[in-house]
Chain A
């Protein structure tokens, strides 16, 4: 049967669009490129939703006002955002939370170790995959058809509308002509070649934290046909993660929270940045870029015994040694240079009586470049522990430019039957930087808008 609305992608934004369109009376088909076990794109790895609210809402405590939310966004993006779209996402987030609950999502109180987010971020019970599962169940009840392992290869842009979609499924090529199309198929980070074109050869050493299925096929196809883009190809959400993480899909457990209590060196055993600049939730996103700028795109974190229990464990146990030299050997670092880097750092540490692991404590080095401005305690107590750090890309920001109706356009104006939602258009709002839980906000808000508009167009 021919469907009114085709949604390309199978993650949060796609499902929000599909459910909204189906509830408005449209017949909907979801084309998900992943197999069922890996459905849901990066949404399977998410854990929360950043939500504005006046007074307690669901699992959220106190208030989180529009202005505060926007200010937080401005801080991380350094103002590189579309103010109107950002305000639209923020304002709409409040009504999204009960809508999500109505569509099967369960929330839980802020996870242990994340109390700082209890006011701003609503955590999904079981994480993003359980959200995705709940949405697929609701979608099935709404009569939405879903094809897994359906790879969209081409959208034919004819003048100001999409004339047809080509996709392969079950070894055959299919051509369909829906009335309306929603693209919610993420960024291109899993296409290493594209990433390398944007970043240079360094990108070959990047790890991809999420789905291997976001290769940007549809995005490239649309950009090639002159659909308007937003964002730079080298902008992305990238964090420093455990260097032993798998190439794809390592998700949350590969993060390392110990940087503030450590010194971080490059492969020449030299420090390169202030490890104690700010609390880790505010700084983890910049370390992806810092590590990317080091030789071989790798960093090495070194802590001593007194810091081991101050952070959430990574999935991989640290390397462990009784001497700095032995740790250097295990990590493949020049031992004498690491020794002197540690000695210089230790000598620059001063009074540590004010040490406080969860607050900016001002326990700083003096006379050292780069300085460590908080939590600076000498690395002296064996055993010593080491982790390697690599750049982990969450998603890329180059995407489809949309308006407040999530509608795509060419230079000549809006495309009548094409909308975009989620990571594939998030660059419209995130010019750079990242705010925890904001990806799911953008996906939910613009997914629902896209679904609404697509259904209205189809009827």
Chain B
């Protein structure tokens, strides 16, 4: 962890500690006020509780040009990204992608190329639908490790995070509370329910919360679609392609639409937001990540619509390539935030109970 970032966040948090006006906005402030002296672990925990809603920034009497120069959303965003980089495994990869949208683009292109090559070299093993372009066995051989590697990597990172913030034995009640908070994105509601400040200075709006919900639930539906397909393939002997009235499609189509729309909406909000209130260095990486996630969804939908045309093999390579890059980059991009946030919310719930 970078000591200067922690120290700057601590300087600001101590001013907040003496003020307390923002107590009602989100989970950060009650947690901040619980501790009289903030350790490095406390600062890291606060950083991962912060959703960058900016309510506290616009309400703050001490923002520049005031000499106290408070910009807590930015200070915490920098600590947050730094914590993800530090706890990532392997760490050097994370340093590349969090701050470089270009690196994400290159990784995506490499993903496409890999899938083109794979389709060309391996090709079909005589299946139907997409398997007519690329064999099921080869897909599994590529995507099974690509799915489990990020999970293993994240597990290592979260374990480091957990011990740095002093987490204790995980109890079901704290987990349930954390999932409840995340499911509603309560920390983006502004505390008063009118939403946060993001795309238009101090105006409260639910735009970012709703865009985020579209992405979250869109992603979960897509994941459910893939999972349903996998189960049907292996346990019910029902290989793809699936008809419209089947679980993979019933989950996948609304999921893809939500995810595509949510990512587009989030990108437009991000373009309108004030970049100086976040981690300026991570802006490109975050934007690149959202674009990649949106492309995963969009190419998936395109594949559904144009799956029986001559464009299918090309679209398949693009879609699978983006999925591959997305999976592999998960521990090293903004995608990691969901896992850290949940972990931070579980820790917060523990501390509230204590």
Residues of B within 8 A of A315 (CB): 14-15, 18-19, 68
Interface hits, A106-132 → B, CB 8 Å? 106, 108-109, 111-113, 123-130
Whether B268 is near chain A, meaning CB under 8 Å from some CB there, is: no
User: With an 8 A cutoff between CB atoms, is B100 at the interface?
Assistant: no
Residues 3-28 of B contacting A (Cβ, < 8 Å): 14-15, 17-25
* A314:B22 contact, CB within 8 angstroms: no
B61 touches A44 (CB 8 A): yes
- The answer on a CB contact under 8 Å between A251 and B61 is yes
Given contacts A108-B191, A313-B18, contact A251 B23 (CB under 8 A): no
- Measured CB to CB, the nearest residue on chain A to B197 is A133
Q: Which of B51-59, B152-160, B247-255 contacts A (4 or more CB under 8 A)?
A: B51-59
Q: Which residue from A45, A112, A137 sits with its C-beta under 8 Å from B61?
A: A45
Contact A309 B58 (CB under 8 A): no
Taking CB atoms, residues of chain A closer than 8 Å to B202 are 130, 133, 137
Please, which residues of chain B bring their CB within 8 A of the CB of A347?
A: none
Contacts of A313 in B (CB 8 A): 14, 17-18, 36
Select one of B61, B66, B67 contacting A127, CB under 8 A: B61
Asked if B23 and A112 sit within 8 Å, CB to CB, the answer is: yes
Residue of A nearest to B56 (CB): A126
For A106, what are the chain B residues with a Cβ–Cβ distance below 8 Å?
Answer: 24, 190-192, 194
Query: Would you give the shortest CB distance from A160 to chain B, in whole angstroms?
Result: 40
Q: In the bound complex, how far is the Cα of B19 from the Cα of A112, in angstroms?
A: 10
Say yes or no: B14 contacts A127, CB within 8 Å: no
| Distance of A276 Cα from B163 Cα, bound (Å) | 44
* Cα of A124 to Cα of B203 in the assembled complex, Å: 16
A456: Cβ under 8 A from any B Cβ: no
Task: Give chain B residues whose Cβ lies under 8 Å from the Cβ of A126.
Answer: 21-22, 24-25, 55-56, 58-60
Q: Is there an interface contact between A129 and B14, defined as CB atoms closer than 8 Å?
A: no
List chain B residues, Cβ under 8 A from A123: 21
**A370 sits at the interface (CB 8 A):** no
Q: When the two chains form their complex, are residues A251 and B62 in contact, meaning their CB atoms are under 8 A apart?
A: yes
CA gap between A129 and B33 in the complex, in Å: 20
**Nearest CB of chain B from residue A403's CB, rounded to whole Å:** 33
Contact of B18 among A38, A45, A47, A312 (CB under 8 A): A312
Contacts of B191 in A (CB 8 A): 106, 108, 125
How many chain B residues touch A (CB < 8 A): the figure is: 33
Q: How far is the CB of B58 from chain A (nearest CB, A)?
A: 6
B284 at the interface (CB under 8 A from A): no
Chain B minimum-CB-distance residue to A130: B59
Nearest CB of B to A416, in Å = 37
- Name the residue on A nearest B17 (C-beta): A313
Given contacts A37-B65, A125-B192, A313-B14, contact A252 B59 (CB under 8 A): no
**Alpha-carbon distance A253/B18, docked complex (angstroms):** 5
Residues of the B chain whose Cβ atoms lie less than 8 Å from the Cβ of A112: 20, 23, 30, 33
- Find the B residue at minimum CB distance from A44: B61
Per the bound structure, the CA–CA distance linking A251 and B25 in Å amounts to 20
Mark out the residues of chain B between 31 and 53 whose CB falls within 8 Å of any chain A CB in the assembled complex. 33, 36
Q: Mark B61-79, 1 if CB is under 8 A from A, else 0.
A: 1111111100000000000
Q: Which chain A residues lie closer than 8 Å to B65 at the CB level?
A: 37-38
A128 touches B36 (CB 8 A): no
CA distance A252 to B68 in the complex (A): 13
Closest-CB distance, B205 to chain A (whole angstroms): 12
Q: Give chain A's interface residue range (CB within 8 Å of chain B).
A: 20 to 34
In angstroms, Cα B16 to Cα A268, docked, is 34
Taking a contact as CB atoms under 8 Å apart, the answer to whether A47 and B17 are in contact is no
Question: In the docked arrangement, what's the CA distance between A162 and B25, Å?
Answer: 44
Interface presence of A249 (CB below 8 A): yes
Consensus secondary structure, chain B interface? loop
Report B260-302 CB contacts with A as 1/0, cut-off 8 Å.
Answer: 0000000000000000000000000000000000000000000
Judge whether A133 and B59 touch: CB under 8 Å.
Answer: yes
A130 touches B203 (CB 8 A): no
The 8 Å CB contact of B25, one of A38, A125, A129, is A125
A125-B192, A126-B59, A313-B36 known; A253-B15 Cβ under 8 A: yes
For B25, B65, B192, the residue with the greatest tally of chain A CB atoms inside 10 Å of its CB is: B192
Of the residues B15, B18, B23, B194, contact of A108 by C-beta under 8 Å: B23
B21 — which chain A residues lie within 8 A by C-beta? 47, 111, 123-124, 126-128, 130, 252
Q: Contact at A137–B203, with CB atoms within 8 Å?
A: yes
Q: Which of chain B's residues has its CB closest to A35's CB?
A: B65
Is B17 within 8 A of A127, CB to CB? no
A281 within 8 Å of B (CB atoms): no
- Complex interface bits, A242-254 against B, C-beta within 8 A gives 1, otherwise 0: 0000100101110
Query: Would you give the shortest CB distance from A107 to chain B, in whole angstroms?
Result: 8
Find B22's partner among A45, A127, A128, A255 (CB 8 Å cutoff). Answer: A127
B191 and chain A: residue at smallest CB distance:
A125
Q: Is the CB of A252 within 8 A of B192?
A: no
**Neighbouring B residues of A45 by C-beta, 8 Å:** 61
Cβ of A368 to closest chain B Cβ, rounded Å = 31
The reply to whether A309 and B59 contact each other, CB–CB distance below 8 Å, is no
Q: Which residues of A contact B19 (CB under 8 A)?
A: 127, 251-253, 315
> Within 8 Å CB of A37, what residues of B?
63-65
Cβ-closest chain B residue relative to A108:
B24
Q: With contacts A127-B59, A137-B203, A313-B36 known, is A111 near B18, CB below 8 A? A: no
A130 near B58 with CB under 8 A, answer: yes
Which residue of A45, A111, A309 has the most chain B CB atoms within 10 A of its CB atom? Answer: A111
CB-CB under 8 A from A246, the residues of chain B are 67
Complex CA gap A320/B265 in Å reads: 53
Once bound together, how far apart are the Cα atoms of A82 and B160, in whole Å? 64
Q: Which residues of B contact A109 (CB under 8 A)?
A: 24
A37 to B55, CA, bound (A): 16
- B60 with A129: CB separation less than 8 A: yes
Taking CB atoms, residues of chain A closer than 8 Å to B190 are 106
A314→B23 contact, CB < 8 A: no
Contacts of A253 in B (CB 8 A): 15, 18-19, 62, 68
**Complex Cα gap A111–B203 (Å):** 24
Interface centre among B20, B68, B194 (most CB of A within 10 A): B20
Residue with the greatest number of chain A CB neighbours at <10 A, chosen from B20, B61, B190, B202? B61
Q: Would you give the shortest CB distance from A103 to chain B, in whole angstroms?
A: 13
B18 x A314 contact (CB < 8 A):
yes
Q: In the assembled complex, which residues on chain B have CB atoms less than 8 Å from the CB atom of A312?
A: 18, 20
In Å, the complex CA distance between A92 and B66 comes to: 35
Quick one: closest A residue to B58, CB to CB?
A: A133
- Complex: A129 Cα to B203 Cα, angstroms: 13
Residues of B within 8 A of A111 (CB): 20-21, 23
Residues from chain A with a CB closer than 8 A to the CB of B22 are 125-127
20 sample A-B contacts, Cβ–Cβ < 8 Å, listed by A number: A44-B61, A47-B21, A106-B191, A111-B20, A111-B21, A113-B33, A125-B192, A126-B25, A126-B58, A128-B61, A130-B58, A130-B202, A133-B58, A137-B203, A249-B61, A252-B61, A253-B15, A255-B18, A312-B20, A313-B36
> Which 3 pairs across A and B sit closest by C-beta, in order of nearness?
A126-B59, A127-B21, A108-B24
- Other CB < 8 Å A-B pairs besides A315-B18, A315-B19, 10 of them? A44-B61, A108-B24, A125-B192, A126-B25, A126-B56, A129-B60, A130-B21, A252-B18, A312-B20, A313-B17
